[in-house]
Each structure stands twice: as structure tokens, then as C-alpha cells.
Amino acid sequence: MIGAPVAGRRWAPRPLIANPTLRWAVRLAILAYLAAAVMTIDVNWPRVAQGVERSGRLLGDFLQPDFTSRWRDISIGILESLTMTVVATAAGVLLAIPVSVGAARNLAPLPVYLVSRAYIALSRTFPEVIVAIVFVVMMGFGPFAGLLTLTFASIGFIAKLLAEDVEDIDEGQLEAMRATGASWWQVIAYAVVPQVMPRFVGLSVYRLDINFRESTILGIVGAGGIGATLTTAMSRYDFDSAGAILIIVIAIVLALEYLSGAVRKAVQ
């Protein structure tokens, strides 16, 4: 009989937390947190209302981008971002190889393992911009600081993911190589490298993609790239130039994402 539910026996989806007391406690805790969080966020509503009006103008300017009047600054900034990306990725990829071998428990002795893991934790935890601030203090303003930042972060990123792959390799192939009397280097070359190569290539192009994204903002703290041009344009209310920069950045990000997707598909 459809449409006449039996009183008191209606189907309901199974709750996520079976214990009703705990379920309600969790719900209350979440509500309490949300209330506390929302209460501590000061919102200047008149300012926001002004912002809504401003955003219309901003969007209008962004949709009529001006590529020409600041083209010199824009092209230099974009070129700087691209060159930083290329060099940092190349250097990061090369330097990540020893670190990833060092961070793989099945290949490295314990002290080397701990040092490599500490480096990875340090470089992966801090956001690129914050690392860039430190490098700018040490190296002065300019793309060199950005280059070092991106290299530092790339090594940690690639080494961590590659080390996981190295730890997951087929032990049988290692043993087979060792059984032929191969040295440590020969074991790496003939048993480890062929197994992790596709992953390594995939990670490298993926990092190329990330490095470009990050290179677009490092200029905000003085570490070179298009970010400096973008902040200048924004602070001068030069939104049509800022719109042009954002469109170029989006186009390059999409192109790199497509490239990295295609390469990863080809090698796997």
C-alpha cells in the first residue's frame, strides 16, 4: 500500500554516529564552535556594502582588460615568473632525487632517513610566501630569492611523494638484482629507477604547474615575478591592467595544467 505509512515505523537513513548521546554532543559542540567563530569575526557592514558596489566596477574593469598600456611591465613580470618556474623545477627535480632516496626507509640508513624526513617536513609545512620572506631578507629583492624559494619547496614536495613510491617498490626486483652481485648503485639503477620513473616524471610536471602558480604571488613579498606588477596595478586602482595580468596567468595555468595532465597520462 503506497502512501499510507505504518504509524511509528518509517524508514530513515542510518545515522553516522550510532550512540545518540555522542551524536548530540558532537552536534552541540559544532554549533558552539560556529557561534563562537562567527561572533569573533568583525564585519564592517557599511564597508561591505560599499564593496559590493565597488565589485561591480572592478568586474567591469576586469572584463575590459588593458594589455597594452602596461605591456612592458606585464611582459617582464610574466617572463620572470616563467623563468623562475623553469629553473626552480629543473633544480628541484635534480636535488629531489638524492633526498627521496634518503627518505625511503628501504634504501637509506636511519640517520640519513631522519635528516631527509626532517627536511621534507620543514619544507612542506611552511607556505612558499613565508619561505620567500626569509630568502628575500638573506638574498635581497628579486627573482633569485623566488628561485630559491621554489627550489626549496619543490625538493620537499617531489622527494616526499617519490619516497613513498620508492618505499612501495617490488622487493623481488631488488633481491633479484642483489642476487646477481650488483652493487648499491647498480641496484638503484636497474631495480629502483625503472620502477619509479613514470611517477617521477609525473611529479616533475605536476610540480612545474604548481611552481608557476606560486611564482605569480612571490612578487608580493619582493621575490620576483608577476606578483609585484599585480600588486602595483592593484594599489594604483589600475584594474584593467590587473585584469589583463589575471587573464594571462589563468591562460598559462590552464596550459600548464593541460600539459602536465597529458604528460602524466602518457607516462602512466
Partner 1 sequence: MPVRTVAGRRVWRRRTPRANALAFTAWVAGGALVVWSAQLISRQTIWMFVQDAPEQAFNLFARMLPPRWAYAEQLLRPLWDTLNIATIGTLVAVVLAVPVALLAARTTTPHASVRALALLVIVASRSIHSLVWALVLVFLVGPGVFAGVVAIALRSVGFIAKLLNEAIEETDATQIEAIRATGAGPGETLAYGIVPQVLPAFAGITVFRWDINIREATFLGLVGAGGIGLQLNASINSLKWADASVILVAIFLMVLVSEWVSARVRGSIT
How many residues sit in the footprint of partner 1 (CB under 8 A)? 57
Query: CB under 8 A: which stretch of 66-74, 120-128, 165-173, 185-193 binds partner 1?
Result: 120-128
Under rule CB under 8 A, residue 217 binds partner 1: yes
User: For partner 1, which residue of 54, 72, 105, 236 counts as binding (CB under 8 A)?
Assistant: 54
If one asks whether residue 134 binds partner 1 (CB under 8 A), the answer comes out as yes
Which positions from 161 to 190 touch partner 1 by CB under 8 A, shown as an x/- string?
Answer: ------------------------------
CB of 183 to partner 1, least distance (A): 21
- For partner 1, give the closer residue by CB, 173 or 232: 232
CB of residue 109 vs partner 1: minimum separation in angstroms? 26
Q: Does 83 bind partner 1 (CB under 8 A)?
A: yes
Closest CA to 173 of 198, 200, 195, 201: 195
Judged by the rule CB under 8 A, the positions of this chain that interact with partner 1 are 33-34, 37-38, 40-44, 47-48, 51-52, 54-55, 58, 79-80, 82-84, 86-87, 90, 121-122, 125-127, 129-130, 133-134, 137-144, 147, 213-214, 216-217, 220-221, 224, 230-231, 234, 246, 249-250, 253-254
